[in-house]
A and B are shown apart, each in its own frame.
Chain A
Amino acid sequence: MKRNVNIKSMKYEDFNDNEYIEQMLKELRENGTNVIIGCLDDVIEWGRSNSLWPLTFATSCCGIEFMAIGAARYDFARFGFEVARSSPRQADFIMVAGTITHKMAPVLKRLYDQMADPKYVIATGGCAISGGPFKKSYHVVDGVDKIIPVDVYIPGCPPRPEAMLYGLMQLQRKVKAQRFLGGLNKGISEKEYERRLREDTNKVEDYREYDESGMA
């Protein structure tokens, strides 16, 4: 059977490195920055952006590619990502690699809440971005940005390791500009954020009665 499948893609030359954040920074700095605080900030942000620790979080296919960028050929240790942590308390960012289902959604939210600030989220692959091929399903969340704020989207099904590295580097750029973008890129006000921080996010209704000593 003869098939004329014509996939329209971007020309290679048109694909420029995405440096708009750096451009913006340059413009902001044109009027000069504070000598001490400004330079100190730059150093701190440079340091932070080059030692971002991911949470080992994977639900499906994208997780295998995440492992592949951890392994020898793609090696994200070159950019300072190699210290993958299994505990959300020690992680800087969470790479949502795979489909998030209704049953998993509260768990993901809880993991995100358990991470220490400043924290970032990368949505990897079609499923995490929009539900992907399973969008119409009864049990799939159509996009993790419905639950938690997302900093970088990496499209693909699953994205190639090169794409993942590019996405991770975009996150680094964003971290470097933290001072100008604001400490909390959360889509909520600082007041609201404070309130949520104090609220017990992991409320589980407990019917047991406790006496004064705290024993059940």
Chain B
Amino acid sequence: MDNTIDIKDRIAAMEPSAVWSDAGDGMFRVPVSSFRGLAEKLHNEGFDFLRSLTGIDWGEDGLGCVYHLENTATGENIVLGTADPDRENACLPSVHDLWKGANFNEREAYDFFGIKFIGHPDLRRFFLRDDWKGYPLRKDYDMSLNPLNMENEGNEDMAPSYEMTSDGSYILKRHPLFDDQEYVINIGPQHPATHGVLRFRVSLEGETIKKIDVHSGYIHRGIEKLCESCTYPQTLGFTDRLDYLGAMQNRHALCACIEKAMGLEVSERIQYIRTIMDELQRIDSHLLFIACLCQDMGALEVFFLGFRDREKVLDILEQTTGGRLIQTYNTIGGVQADIHPEFVKKTKEFIRYMRPKLKEYDDIFTGNIIARNRLIGTGVLSREDAISFGATGGTGRASGWACDVRKRHPYAMYGKVDFKEITFTEGDCFARYMVRIKEIEQSLNIIEQLIDNIPDGEYQMKVKPVIKLPAGSWYTAVEGSRGEFGVFLESRGDKSPYRLKFRSTGLPLVSCIDTIARDAKIADLIAIGGTLDYVVPDIDR
């Protein structure tokens, strides 16, 4: 963060009680009482993108949240932290009206830490069952509280919210989610078109969608809590299993974050290899996206074509890393193994093979009249909403928001290669589909520029077997296959992280589904869900 000094002065002018703490990336610690005012001021100044919202159990300092904000116009970043020392009744002001993306993130923080967000309209649990006891990510959570419960889950029909009264206390209110007369159908968790175990409760009027209530958590594995008891090298394995179609990039993000905290610079060769691998992974993911979207819409042939080409990428990855889907390739300070002697040759062959195939997809599917009728004009996400929800990746770029982390905060070799950031302005399903098709081409361009120039050097830097990070907090983001994948790491100087949060790429994407699918037809929900391209294990973590 280059412009910290300037921001420091501005924050001091805005809110004198904010304290700058220097450990790691640094953040402003704000007292709860003045947090809401500062957030409003920053929002008005143009900090319109809430990159990440992380709940933290700060022990004696209480329960709190860390907010990563970005000004999309100027590219400035700012980190705010606030905590309520009253552990029993931790309350923070909600910011869901400033950044729409805060809605689900605050529900997540409530679910994990029991922080009550005053003013939040719908503070139900998000991942865990309504009858779950305790808050699992608190440090004092008792693991034996919740044995396996095989009773079918009931559904809360009333949304609780906490509202501030004039004397400073708060009251619990309940609002019905659906009216008695509303016709509500259930989609998922076992449904072929939800791309995993996601569940929607959809209120219909005829065929028109009136409201969608998203239920998540059917694949919530508690990875963030598990990481707190693992050493740093052990935490790496979980990242591959978050968004398994972005396994390389996820692991890259965590390795880069730990390397940043260690102050370790990796060699150029490692940077080259990581960049090429990330792009191969992106091609793999986008091919799967096309395959699955077409299958959902009834074009089974494209499913086979997508998988045929995807296998070629997997072959290349497997030869070097030994893994097909989950490669476990990046390590702290390098990569697991040097590239295979045939890697360069095979990758070049693949590039030559892939370019004409893109035309084939165009011929078969893009121009298809049924596909065009179903995709063009449905599920429009406006640019403002995309930023407010934090819907990054292809979805944001289809709405005209240039949100590519590779361009915003270049990492690895992305600052030195020449590629175009694909943006559309329509924001509909068709634009989201086209972004991915065009991005495959750009990824091929990036690989082409790097593949012949991989410099000599070591593929693994010298790293101690037991890694201890200094106290502090860091945030690193990479452009995952479907958006900004961020890692927030808080260390207390131990050999395992104090708090490790993964900014899910998919959570903002499902949080905007209610907005964009309203007044669409129920059949369009499949196209909308397909083009949003979320991976459910990445949402649930």
Contacts and interface: CB of A to CB of B under 8 A. Distances in A.
Nearest to B141: A138
Q: Provide the main secondary structure of the chain B interface.
A: loop
27 contacts: A1-B462, A57-B190, A59-B218, A59-B536, A59-B537, A60-B244, A63-B196, A64-B244, A65-B324, A68-B307, A73-B308, A86-B191, A86-B192, A98-B537, A101-B218, A101-B220, A103-B129, A103-B153, A105-B150, A106-B149, A106-B152, A106-B153, A133-B237, A133-B241, A138-B136, A138-B222, A139-B128
Contacts of B190: 57, 88, 107, 111
B222 A60 contact: no
A158 B150 contact: no
B90 interface: no
B264 interface: no
B152 A64 contact: no
B307 A71 contact: yes
A16 interface: no
A88 B226 CA distance: 33
Contact of A104 (B219, B225, B229): B219
B358 interface: no
A49 interface: no
B326 interface: yes
Contacts of B526: none
A156 to B, nearest CB: 10
Contact of A157 (B148, B303, B326): B326
Interface in A42-89: 56-61, 63-65, 67-68, 71-73, 86, 88
Contacts of A203: 152
Nearest to A202: B152
A147 B136 contact: no
Contact of A1 (B154, B303, B463): B463
Interface string B138-154: 00010100101111111
Interface string B205-228: 000000000000111111101100
A142 B152 CA distance: 19
A99 B219 contact: yes
Contacts of B128: 103, 139
A65 B325 contact: yes
A60 B219 contact: yes
B138 to A, nearest CB: 11
A135 to B, nearest CB: 9
Interface in A88-111: 88, 98-99, 101-107, 109-111
A191 interface: no
Q: Rank and list the top 9 A-B pairs by shortest CB-CB distance, nearest first.
A: A71-B307, A137-B222, A61-B244, A60-B537, A134-B221, A104-B218, A86-B192, A139-B222, A72-B304
Contacts of A138: 136, 141, 143, 146, 222, 225
A158 B303 CA distance: 21
Interface residues of B, number: 50
A141 interface: yes
Contacts of B221: 99, 101, 134, 137, 139-140
Contacts of B220: 101, 103, 139
Nearest to A109: B150
B288 interface: yes
Contacts of A61: 241, 244, 325-326, 537
Contact of A73 (B244, B307, B537): B307
Interface residues of A, number: 46
A9 B81 CA distance: 50
A73 B304 CA distance: 9
Interface in B391-442: none
Interface of A: 1, 56-61, 63-65, 67-68, 71-73, 86, 88, 98-99, 101-107, 109-111, 133-134, 136-141, 146-147, 157-158, 160, 202-205
Contacts of B223: 134, 137
B148 A102 contact: yes
Contact of B219 (A57, A67, A101): A101
A153 B136 CA distance: 31
Given A59-B196, A133-B237, A110 B219 contact: no
B20 interface: no
A104 to B, nearest CB: 5
A40 B144 CA distance: 53
Contacts of A1: 460, 462-463
A140 B143 CA distance: 12
Contacts of B472: none
Nearest to A147: B150
Contacts of B311: 68, 71, 73
B245 interface: yes
A204 B537 contact: no
B153 A60 contact: no
B259 to A, nearest CB: 15
Q: Which of B141, B190, B291, B537 has the most CB of A within 10 A?
A: B190
Contacts of B291: 71
A186 B205 CA distance: 44
B189 interface: yes
A172 B390 CA distance: 48
A71 B218 contact: no
B189 A67 contact: no
A103 B303 contact: no
B365 to A, nearest CB: 16
A192 B196 CA distance: 33
Nearest to A134: B221
A203 B154 CA distance: 11
Contacts of B192: 56, 86
A106 B154 CA distance: 11
B276 interface: no
Contacts of A157: 326
Q: Which of A138, A141, A146 has the most CB of B within 10 A?
A: A138
Contacts of B151: 106
B178 interface: no
A70 B28 CA distance: 52
